[in-house]
Amino acid sequence: GPRNASIDLAAAQARGITVCGTESRKTTTSELATLMMLALNRRLMPEVASLTAGGWQAGLGRDVAGLTLGLIGLGNIGAQMAVIGRALGMSVSAWSQNLTDDRCDALGVARARSLPDLMATSDVVSIHLVLSERTRHLVNGDALIHAKEGQVLINTSRGPIVDTAALLAALRRGRPAMAGLDVFDNEPLPANDPLRDADLIEQGRLLLTPHLGYTTHATSTVFYQQTVAAVRAYLAGAPIRVLV
């Protein structure tokens, strides 16, 4: 089901509950991450604001061709980002706790030695991991201190993978230079959340979107049609796409 749906499959199994899933389109999140990467590097939001206010060009953006894209996680979405990055003329590297040389070689991606190494060598870092106790606050102050000058950090995965307080402190120090966040610790994002930093947003250094990674017409069609099909199959005594 939708990315913000959460269920404890082990608990469901222990209680004898049948859980049926839905498939999902695998391109929607990588498209949004790419959109954020381009918008931040080209200063899209402050330029739009300048034009809207009656002005004209307010600064210089940055080409992504020739930059290094660092991927934290190289699963399905990370692999798509690798293809997109290369298509845009970027070098691509990746790191995760279980990443292997074989996986990197199969996708034509360089394997970073460690998370600090990835942070120090990447112009854009995009996170594509499952949230777990091992990945919670994985991108914390210790990781962010290694951010390369001018770096753009993007999170379209899960909010708690990034330590929000550490990220805000790092942005105010200038490394990373910019961040794009589609996911948050608390959703919907509270009106008084510290991430609603007017200065960072106005400067075009912080781009926030309301968990759009999976929300497209095509994805919703898959979710809801398959949900109805799963209910009908269950009522007919023949559950489909059974997770537990």
DSSP state of 244: -
Contact 129, 138 (CB under 8 A): yes
Closest by CA to 46, choosing from 147, 167, 178, 225, is 178
Place of tokens 């200065």: 199
Q: Which residue numbers are catalytic?
A: 158, 187, 211
Give Cα separations from 134 to 4, 98, 137 (angstroms).
19, 11, 8
Stretch (H or E) spanning 234: helix 217-235
> What one-character-per-residue DSSP string does 60-111 give?
-----TT-EEEEE--SHHHHHHHHHHHHTT-EEEEE-TT--HHHHHHHT-EE
